[in-house]
Amino acid sequence: MDDRIRNAIYRQIKNEPFGKIFGLTLVDVQEGYAKVEMVFTGDMENMFGMAHGGAIFSLMDAAFEVASNSHGTMAVALNMNINYLASPAKGAKLTAEAREINKTKRTAAYDIRATDDSGKLLASCQSLVYRLDKPLPFLEE
């Protein structure tokens, strides 16, 4: 992977306002792959005291965003189909890994999995992007 693209993505994700709200941290990025982490905090609970699905979705969406844009050109989400399988313990470190499973000139498909720090599978997701023929706008910053 081109270091210019990698560094630009790390810089952009670190400063992304939404990611700051959830404490999302980009751990790794390769072409077609990303790993993002966050800690399940009390302000991410649903009405049952469990992790809100939106929090887990946000973690997975961040990994999807990075993996799908890792080629240096813009990609925008078309679809995300998520299955929630388990809830993490409070205070657990959550990890989402997005892996590209198919890429064409115009679309790309991803498998995304969220786990807790014990390795328990929390959610799985199949996602699709539309690949624009435009460079990432923040590459030149």
Predicted confidence band of residue 30 (pLDDT cuts 50, 70, 90): very high
In this structure, the number of other CB atoms found within 10 A of the CB of residue 44 comes to 22
pTM score, whole prediction: 0.96
pLDDT at 69: 98
pLDDT digits (tens, 9 = 90+) for 93-141: 999 999 999 999 999 999 999 999 999 999 999 999 999 999 999 997 6
Per-residue pLDDT, averaged over 86-99, amounts to: 97
pLDDT at 4: 95
Q: Could you tell me the domains of the chain?
A: 3-135 (3.10.129.10)
As a whole number of angstroms, the distance between CA 109 and CA 75 comes to 11
As a whole number of angstroms, the distance between CA 2 and CA 4 comes to 5
As a whole number of angstroms, the distance between CA 126 and CA 113 comes to 9
pLDDT at 141: 60
The token duo for 134 is 């435009």
Strand ranges (E), 10-72: 25-30, 33-39
The token duo for 117 is 């720090």
Higher pLDDT, 25 or 141: 25
pLDDT digits (tens, 9 = 90+) for 39-66: 999 999 999 999 999 999 999 999 999 9
Does pLDDT of 18 surpass 90? yes
H-type alpha helices, 15-136 = 17-22, 53-69
Residue 65 half-sphere exposure, CB side, CA atoms within 13 Å? Answer: 18
pLDDT at 140: 76
Pick from 102, 31, 18: which is nearest to 61 by CA? 18
pLDDT digits (tens, 9 = 90+) for 60-72: 999 999 999 999 9
Q: In which element (H, E) is residue 98 found? A: strand 93-103
As a whole number of angstroms, the distance between CA 72 and CA 49 comes to 39
